[in-house]
Structure 1
Amino acid sequence: MEFCKYIAYNSPVLKYLIKGGISLNGEVRVSGSKNAALPIMCATLLTKEKCVIKNIPEIDDVLSMIEILKTLGSNIKFSRGTLEIETPDIKAVKPPEDAVCHMRASILIAGPLLARKGYVDMGFPGGCILGKRPINIHTFVFKKFGAVIKNQTTRLEISARKLKGAEIILPEMSVTATENAVMSAVLADGITEIRLAATEPHIQDLCKMLNKMGAKISGIGTNILKIAGVKSLHGVNYEVCGDYLEAGTFALAGIITKGNIKINGIDTSALDILWQKLDEIGAKFKVERNSIETFPYKNSLKPTQIRTAVYPSFPTDLQAPMGVLLTQAKGVSKVFETLFEGRLGYLFELEKMGAKVEIINPHQALIIGPSHLRGCPVSSMDIRAGAAMVIAALSAKGITEISNIQYLHRGYEKLDEKLNKLGAQITKIAVGSFDFLKKKE
């Protein structure tokens, strides 16, 4: 199948070799937000007209979504960050099994397909190994709109003659369930009110684009969204917001390497909690409206407590990268991961590099610092754990080999190239090649 060539698990097996101990310096611009781009791409199914979406990152998840949308009938051109997409007719409601089962965001085609065709039949979505992420909240949402769940045991099969507006109180502030609810509501008959809606910047970006297409969504950025259904949506030209999670990753890399880097291209208010925590531990940086600049710190970093939760609390996607920085703080820091039970696995990899950690339970851990990290072979457990391993490698003494970097390719656009422009020494190699080691030692 054509789509397979774009999926990371079918790509050549690659590793990063990173020489640590080098301060990062210079400027970098973050790519468009992965978490905004994927739902926005799915939302283009809601109109027959052409949509032009700019600032789309060229990452594996985007390329996989392109192939899923093509199988549904979309005509797509993608070049230099600009996606041109037009779906005059939806020709299929059953996307390829291999594609959806390897990407959690594939669940986001369900709402648009129900809204436009009244039927969807798909396998269960997959993605990173982060623990249980059930689809029950999605079927709960669709039933509120009047849909009939025909199968949610072996796959997801849903039908609806016509979606009808409803008052929906979400059982939890789920990002993808909020996005599916919004995309279902914009073409539904009547008024929809979504309470306990998630408010992440990428949800706000989706709502802004839909309004530009003719939707009537109010309350954007709050936990209560009100949506008046319309008969149809039109095409749009839209630019995806910058990736605040990538910006946070670069900021943490700059601080841990005691570098001076300026990160451009985001609304920095999306990361207020990160800036607060970095200030608390004694990191040196300057925040402006659309940029963040890091500076070398002189005194020892202080320990802190990190508790992940839904936006605007500390993001789970930056918990692992922040955990790496806390290995350099003097004292005991505590990490409490409230959202996913599989997200502390990176700490075992950090231990291999010399970090001192104590796992209390699947959700809580202590990090005792400061630790002198040293290069060694480690593995990427998921997208954000992979970023954490890169940050650790940049600050470690010697050379670190990171395997399973296909996860990084799913979420970060040209991460190695961007870091190398800031002075890092990262080489991507095929498994079994040790040329880099011979040249650098």
Structure 2
Amino acid sequence: MEINQKIMSKFVINGGRRLSGSIDVAGAKNAILPLLAATLLTEEECAISNVPEILDVQSFIKILKDLGCEVTTEARTVTVRCGNIKKYIPDKKLCSSTRASVIFMGALLSRLKKTEVVYPGGDKIGKRPINIHIQAFKSLGAKVVEGETVKLSGDKLVGTELFAESSVTGTENMVMASVFAKGKTIIKLAALEPHVQQLCRFLKKMGARINGIGTHTLVVEGVKKLHGAKVKVIPDMLEAGSFAVLAAASKSELTINNVDHSHLDTVYEKFREIGINFDKSANSLIILRPQKGYKAVSIRTGVYPSLATDLQPPFGVLATQCKGTTKIHDWIYEGRQGYLKELSKMGANVKIIDTHQAEVTGLTKLHPAKIESLDVRSGMTLVIASLIAEGKSVISGIHHIGRGYERLDERLRNIGADIQKID
């Protein structure tokens, strides 16, 4: 799995075309990364299927190989055997490139009893502190030294009561750090996201004792060792939501396959409010061409099962195609509004109220522009905007998009988009 995505690459999009056909949703980015980290918890072989071909996965595989794990990739299945881990410090440059690298802390502390990890990188969408993680490690009995890196050590972790505060990576780190801890660990206010649940179920298949999966209270009873297991990555609900918004915003009829409808209830609720026509079959979502215009609604993000913060930007561009003023409130991350400034270059009527709130007034006919992708989700949002704006748009910074969306240009061409990548 080697993806060539140069920093200076750009998308050139000739928008205004109606799209049609079908597109398949890839495996979830936010699910595969903790699953890969979890393979460190056993000496035996683990096999993960339905793996998306994205840059963050490539980075995680490189980190595992650098640690001494044997990793092979074939036909979207990644096989990992971490029998002889030769170092306890994951590659600092690779870790600094992706936010999710923070979850190596719990896995390595649990397996090796020590680790040293740089502060995670990834998207620049506001402060995302790891104090919840640090406090959890301390509560379990680990020694923590914070500086330019975070150094963790703890020969004998002991189960206790932890508070995850609905943090996704915080919950994942706490679970992995406690699977070998002596006694019982109770994780309160655990995140409910489907990928958190999948990690817990994978760990149970490996021999971990975890109860309360799918609730806000997880109970982990420490075991001596874990064994190998197989798992299939769940569909990416964020990608499904993005493609659905693309179809609606471009007034296209599109079939989106490999969808888990149970993960998209809040998206469907918003679609009904806006007036988007759609049908559902077993594993597919069909966005239908509108019979009338869309209306503005309130967009408020929250912890799962509320609307995901990662879907706020796509809904932001959809708001330009709705009649009236859409109020956006993303209380999870401050400063996630850079994409709105880029949309304003395309004629969007945008008012930024503060670091968490904005208003978008439509209906607006977007025009093409030269714009910049600032992170994974804003990048996809600008692709949507460029596809509905008649004329030629150029998007720079598309390496961000490659971190979360697999071969996006190729897949969009298959449904009728005029999009090319230039280096």
Q: TM-score over 0.5 for the alignment?
A: yes
One-letter code aligned to 2:270: K
The equivalent of 1:70 in structure 2 is 65
Rounded Cα–Cα distance in structure 2 between residues aligned with 1:166 and 1:251: 43
Q: CA deviation at 1:12?
A: 5.0
Alpha-carbon distance change, 213 to 7 in structure 1, aligned in 2, over 3 angstroms: farther
Amino acid at match of 2:146: Q
Structure 2 partner of 1:161: 155
Instruction: Work out whether residues 50 and 76 of structure 2, in 8 Å CA contact, stay in contact via their aligned partners in 1.
Output: yes
AA at the equivalent of 1:41: L
Contact 2:26–2:236 (8 Å) recurs in 1: yes
Query: How is 1:35-434 mapped onto 2 (pairs within 5 angstroms)?
Result: 35-149=30-144, 151-170=145-164, 172-430=165-423
* Native 8 Å contact 1:268 1:288 kept in 2: no
Structure 2: gaps of 5 or more residues: none
Q: How many residues align?
A: 423
**Aligned position for 2:13:** 18
1:401 counterpart SS class: strand
> What CA distance in whole angstroms lies between the structure 2 residues aligned with 1:115 and 1:77?
24
Normalised TM-score (structure 1):
0.94
Instruction: Report the Cα distance in structure 2 between the residues aligned to 1:228 and 1:406, rounded to whole angstroms.
Output: 41
Task: Quote the offset at 1:153 in angstroms.
Answer: 2.5
The separation in 2 between residues aligned to 1:192 and 1:381, in whole angstroms, is 39
- Hey, what's the Cα distance between the residues in 2 that align with 1:408 and 1:209? 28
| C-alpha distance after superposition, 1:250-280 (max 9, x if no partner) | 1011111111111111211111111101110
Distance in 2 (alpha carbons) for counterparts of 1:106 and 1:169: 21
Which whole-Å CA distance do the structure 1 matches of 2:251 and 2:184 have between them? 52
Which residue pairs with 1:436 in the alignment? none
Distance 2:291 2:384 in 1: 19
Q: 1:13 to 1:329 in 2, by over 3 A?
A: same
Counterpart amino acid of residue 371 in structure 1: T
Deviation at 1:7, TM superposition (A): 8.8
The aligned amino acid for 1:115 is: S
CA distance in structure 2 between the partners assigned to 1:215 and 1:180 by the alignment: 14
- Return closer, same or farther for 1:169/1:7 CA change in 2, 3 Å cut-off: farther
Whole-Å Cα distance in 2 between the matches of residues 289 and 115 of structure 1? 40
C-alpha offsets along residues 220-257 of structure 1, whole Å, 9 cap, x if unaligned?
Answer: 11111111111111111111101010000110111111
Moved more, 287-296 or 235-244: 287-296
Q: In the aligned structure 2, how far is the partner of 1:164 from the partner of 1:239?
A: 31
Q: Which deviates further from its counterpart, 20-29 or 57-66?
A: 20-29
Report the residue type matching 1:393 in the other structure.
Answer: S
Cα distance in 1 for residues equivalent to 2:127 and 2:413: 36
The Cα of 1:101 is off from its aligned counterpart by 1.1
Secondary structure of the structure 1 residue equivalent to 2:21: strand
Contact 2:7 2:397 (C-alpha < 8 Å) held by counterparts: no
Query: Which residue identity lines up with residue 422 of structure 1 in the other structure?
Result: I
For structure 1, the residue ranges without an aligned partner over 5 or more in a row are: 431-441
For 1:153 and 1:308, how far apart are their aligned partners in 2?
Answer: 33
Cα distance in structure 2, aligned partners of 1:164 and 1:89: 25
Instruction: Tell me how large the CA RMSD over aligned residues is.
Output: 1.4
Matched AA of 1:133: R
Length-normalised TM-score, structure 2: 0.98
**Distance between the aligned counterparts of 1:169 and 1:313, measured in 2?**
20
SS at match of 1:165: coil
Secondary structure of the residue aligned to 2:30 is: helix
User: Is contact 1:191-1:229 (8 Å) kept?
Assistant: yes
Partner of 1:438: none
Q: Which deviates more, 93-102 or 325-334? A: 93-102
Equivalent AA in structure 1 for residue 149 of structure 2 = R
